[in-house]
A and B are shown apart, each in its own frame.
Chain A
Amino acid sequence: MAKPKKRRKLIIFSVIGLVLVALTLMAVLKKRAPAIVVQTEPVARHSLTNVVVANGKIEPVVQVTISPEVSGEIIELPVKEGQQVRKGDLLVKINPDIYIAATNQAMANYESSLAARASAEANLEKAQADYDRNLELFHSKLISESDFIGFKSARDVAKAQLDSADDQVNVNQATLESAQEELERTIIVSPLDGTISKLNSQVGERVLGTVQNAGTEIMVISDLNQMEARVDVGEMDVVGIKPGQKAWLDVDAFKDRKFAGVVTDVASSSKDSNLPQGYSTGSSQSQEATKFQVRIRLTDKEAFRPGMSVSADIETEYRTNVLTVPLASVTTRLLSPTKMDPPKTAGTNTAASTNAAIAGTNGAVSTAKAKESTKMTDVVFVVKGDHVQAVPVKIGICDDNYWEITDGLTNSEEIVSGGYRAINRDLKDGSKIKKGLATSEEMKP
């Protein structure tokens, strides 16, 4: 009786012991890591348009600043801001009094010089006649040599005086012409058809001419029929922009509308490079990014005004039906050398020394490649069952939603597309995952 009881006890304790030992071994040997909740989607094909966004202002294509060439008081200003003018219309009249007086003075000097020349001509005529008459007498030895020289000198002096009078006439004539020109410049007419977009001066103001100064900017005339957006593009993006590219423009004053445009010009030098060498713009400006001006002609007509703010989306590149992944799917990781392309192995060689040399070289190459491959690499996490694999990829262009993948993925693969924290921090090659909806915490960076 005791023996069956003992056997039963032995069996029961043995079973319990085996179960505990087996479970303990399984617990010790099995590593568990928390599964990371992710969202996934398949790799898909899309058409992409790479867009460069830039901000700027709308300005007329043709814009002329009117400054006077002569200084004086404005006595007539028959135009106002916003008025349309035609080529040749009177814009400004400057007080001509001093210029009239200068012209009259120049005229008087000119006429005086004419009279002086006439007098010199008459003197020369007389001196020439006296010379000719006394030459015959000198040859007949009826007068002395010294007397003859006197008549000769008189003729030469008269000739020189005539030349001087001639020169003085020319000088006075040029002065008269200059005075007349300055008088004409007191009347300014429009050089083009356009609109007075800016009027800085009023009747009675004294303005400076441009002869020796920058001149007063009286007004600006613009052709508002042809407008362009002048936007600033950073140096990283400007290399992709070329004349002829399409652009879509968002003008702040016309919300919910997009205007079409075409790139017409890309600046060859940056805005800061126009400053003289050694010129300092101040501490705050010296840290601004380098910008290049791009001009975009607006093809859509609208009542634009110079100075309106505009944001341009310039379409620089297009890709049709290419492999794409969501923007959030691509991140960077430091991949181990085994994940990168392995170095090519050497061919077989019977010579042991050659083999050793090759092995040594391969070792050096492997070490060099290992060092090269430890840099950060663009990766996408590909779903493999309940784990992920970090796959290095090559990316092309992107738009607002997708990256183009040029190498590393195929059409049928499923990749991790969210949450933000999982992709950028938590996921590693081989991490265990669990598909589910993103919590608010997982969506935060």
Chain B
Amino acid sequence: MPASPTSMTPTTSLAGRLLNIFAAPGEVFDEIKAASQSTATWLVPVLIYAVVGVISVCIVFAQPVIQQTIHDQQVKAMDKLVQQGKISQAQEDQMLQAVEKFTGPTMMAVFGSAGMVVYSFASIFGWALVLWLLGYWLLKAQLGYKKTLEVAALSSILLVLDLVITTLLTVIFGRLNAGPSLALLVSDFDLNNRLHLLLGAVNVIYLWHAGVLAIGLAKLSGSSIVKASAAVFGFWVLVELLLIAIGMGQWAL
């Protein structure tokens, strides 16, 4: 008897899967669906995301122009409090001294790195939960959480690419929020400007990431790519607009 086509298909290594996410994500997710659950499949990408995130934070906060920008923002915020009469000039001076002491480049890199590790785990687990919920409520499919976790983790390699590009753009342009988005067109990015935040949310890599997640959801649930894309992109757009609307736009970037 000839071997069945599925048993003949060789399984790709984890490294191969991570690379194929860029060019052929459908094939990767087909393998994931057929294969048994594997901890390494989700843990390794998360760790890669966390490590690259830490390196990115350290590089960004080591830039003198970024340190100056953060310092200027802190001083401006303090000046605003003084103008509003909430604190006195002497209190502002004391607070600035304390801030400079505890938010130097090293401290910022330490806290930023810790935050990046937490965020990397949280974002992937979060996206896994979102995929599971979308599959259950919208696509009426019973997806295993661990499978969605593997899909979300493998897709996060795109976010690693985004981190690398954002870090390089930050070093080149010398400003925060210099990601591969329409925010590059804005010379004086203002976190309080909703239009700027909207432009920043239109990130090429985020759109690519959402597309790959949609492919993963379609493969796992067996539904059409159109339905899955509508679900994922719909959720993503909704969350971005909500965060920008309630004044937490920096989390939308």
A interface residues, Cβ below 8 angstroms from B: 5, 8-9, 12-13, 16, 19-20, 23-24, 26-27, 30, 32-35, 37, 439-441
The number of inter-chain residue pairs (CB within 8 angstroms) is 60
Complex formed: what's the CA distance from A360 to B68 in Å?
48
Which chain B residues in 1-56 approach chain A with CB under 8 Å? 19-20, 22-24
B63 at the interface (CB under 8 A from A): yes
Query: A440 to chain B: which residues have CB within 8 Å?
Result: 75, 78-79, 82, 89, 92
Is there contact, CB below 8 Å, between A9 and B82?
Answer: no
Complex formed: what's the CA distance from A9 to B25 in Å?
11
Complex formed: what's the CA distance from A5 to B26 in Å?
12
Q: Give the shortest distance, in Å, between B185 (CB) and chain A (any CB).
A: 17
Is there contact, CB below 8 Å, between B23 and A23?
Answer: no
Is there contact, CB below 8 Å, between B169 and A23?
Answer: yes
Beyond A9-B20, A13-B22: 19 further Cβ-contacts under 8 Å? A8-B23, A9-B22, A13-B19, A13-B23, A16-B22, A16-B161, A19-B165, A23-B168, A23-B172, A24-B168, A27-B171, A30-B171, A32-B64, A33-B64, A34-B65, A35-B68, A439-B75, A440-B92, A441-B96
Which one of B67, B76, B79, B172 contacts A26 once the chains associate, using CB atoms below 8 Å?
Answer: B172
Is there contact, CB below 8 Å, between B75 and A32?
Answer: no
Query: A12 to chain B: which residues have CB within 8 Å?
Result: 22-23
Query: B89 to chain A: which residues have CB within 8 Å?
Result: 440
10 sampled A-B residue pairs with Cβ under 8 A: A9-B23, A20-B164, A23-B165, A23-B168, A30-B171, A32-B171, A34-B65, A439-B72, A439-B79, A441-B96
Q: Give the shortest distance, in Å, between B60 (CB) and chain A (any CB).
A: 11
Task: Please encode chain B, from 70 to 91, with 1 for each CB lying within 8 Å of some chain A CB and 0 for all others.
Answer: 0010011011001000000100
B105 at the interface (CB under 8 A from A): no
Query: A8 to chain B: which residues have CB within 8 Å?
Result: 23-24
- Name the 5 nearest CB pairs between A and B, nearest first: A34-B68, A23-B168, A9-B23, A32-B174, A27-B171
Is there contact, CB below 8 Å, between B164 and A37?
Answer: no
Which one of B65, B79, B96 contacts A35 once the chains associate, using CB atoms below 8 Å?
Answer: B65
B94 at the interface (CB under 8 A from A): no
Which one of A9, A13, A19, A37 contacts B72 once the chains associate, using CB atoms below 8 Å?
Answer: A37
Q: Give the shortest distance, in Å, between A236 (CB) and chain B (any CB).
A: 35
Complex formed: what's the CA distance from A268 to B132 in Å?
99
Is there contact, CB below 8 Å, between B76 and A439?
Answer: yes
Query: B165 to chain A: which residues have CB within 8 Å?
Result: 19-20, 23
Query: A439 to chain B: which residues have CB within 8 Å?
Result: 72, 75-76, 79
Complex formed: what's the CA distance from A33 to B66 in Å?
9
Query: A16 to chain B: which residues have CB within 8 Å?
Result: 22, 161
CB nearest to B67 among chain A residues:
A34
B69 at the interface (CB under 8 A from A): yes
Q: Give the shortest distance, in Å, between A416 (CB) and chain B (any CB).
A: 17
Query: B63 to chain A: which residues have CB within 8 Å?
Result: 32
CB nearest to B63 among chain A residues:
A32
Query: A33 to chain B: which residues have CB within 8 Å?
Result: 64-65
Is there contact, CB below 8 Å, between B24 and A32?
Answer: no
Q: Give the shortest distance, in Å, between A322 (CB) and chain B (any CB).
A: 36
Q: Give the shortest distance, in Å, between B176 (CB) and chain A (any CB).
A: 13
Most buried by A among B96, B165, B169, B172: B172
Query: A27 to chain B: which residues have CB within 8 Å?
Result: 168, 171-172
Query: B67 to chain A: which residues have CB within 8 Å?
Result: 34
Complex formed: what's the CA distance from A441 to B95 in Å?
12
Complex formed: what's the CA distance from A16 to B164 in Å?
11
CB nearest to A440 among chain B residues:
B79
Query: B171 to chain A: which residues have CB within 8 Å?
Result: 27, 30, 32
Query: B82 to chain A: which residues have CB within 8 Å?
Result: 440
Complex formed: what's the CA distance from A8 to B27 in Å?
14
Query: A13 to chain B: which residues have CB within 8 Å?
Result: 19, 22-23
Q: Give the shortest distance, in Å, between A27 (CB) and chain B (any CB).
A: 4
Most buried by B among A8, A13, A440: A440
Query: B79 to chain A: which residues have CB within 8 Å?
Result: 439-440
Q: Give the shortest distance, in Å, between B105 (CB) and chain A (any CB).
A: 13
Complex formed: what's the CA distance from A33 to B64 in Å?
7
Is there contact, CB below 8 Å, between A32 and B65?
Answer: yes
Is there contact, CB below 8 Å, between A34 and B64?
Answer: yes
Q: Give the shortest distance, in Å, between B61 (CB) and chain A (any CB).
A: 13
CB nearest to B168 among chain A residues:
A23
Query: B22 to chain A: which residues have CB within 8 Å?
Result: 9, 12-13, 16
CB nearest to B65 among chain A residues:
A34
Query: B164 to chain A: which residues have CB within 8 Å?
Result: 20
Q: Give the shortest distance, in Å, between B62 (CB) and chain A (any CB).
A: 12
Query: A9 to chain B: which residues have CB within 8 Å?
Result: 20, 22-24
Complex formed: what's the CA distance from A33 to B69 in Å?
11
Is there contact, CB below 8 Å, between B68 and A26?
Answer: no
Most buried by A among B76, B96, B161: B76
Complex formed: what's the CA distance from A12 to B75 in Å?
45
Q: Give the shortest distance, in Å, between B232 (CB) and chain A (any CB).
A: 21
CB nearest to A32 among chain B residues:
B174
Complex formed: what's the CA distance from A32 to B169 in Å?
12
Q: Give the shortest distance, in Å, between B85 (CB) and chain A (any CB).
A: 14
Complex formed: what's the CA distance from A37 to B89 in Å?
20
Query: A19 to chain B: which residues have CB within 8 Å?
Result: 165
Which one of B69, B92, B169 contacts A34 once the chains associate, using CB atoms below 8 Å?
Answer: B69
Q: Give the shortest distance, in Å, between A10 (CB) and chain B (any CB).
A: 8
CB nearest to A27 among chain B residues:
B171
CB nearest to B23 among chain A residues:
A9
Query: B20 to chain A: which residues have CB within 8 Å?
Result: 9
Q: Given A35-B65, A441-B96, do A5 and B168 touch, yes or no (CB 8 Å)? A: no
CB nearest to A24 among chain B residues:
B168
Q: Given A8-B23, A439-B72, A440-B82, do A30 and B65 touch, yes or no (CB 8 Å)? A: no
Complex formed: what's the CA distance from A359 to B54 in Å?
59
Q: Give the shortest distance, in Å, between A433 (CB) and chain B (any CB).
A: 12
Complex formed: what's the CA distance from A26 to B167 in Å?
12
Q: Give the shortest distance, in Å, between B71 (CB) and chain A (any CB).
A: 9
CB nearest to B27 among chain A residues:
A5
Is there contact, CB below 8 Å, between A441 and B65?
Answer: no
Complex formed: what's the CA distance from A20 to B168 in Å?
8
Query: A20 to chain B: which residues have CB within 8 Å?
Result: 164-165, 168
Query: A37 to chain B: which residues have CB within 8 Å?
Result: 72
Query: A34 to chain B: which residues have CB within 8 Å?
Result: 64-65, 67-69, 174
Which one of B24, B69, B78 contacts A5 once the chains associate, using CB atoms below 8 Å?
Answer: B24
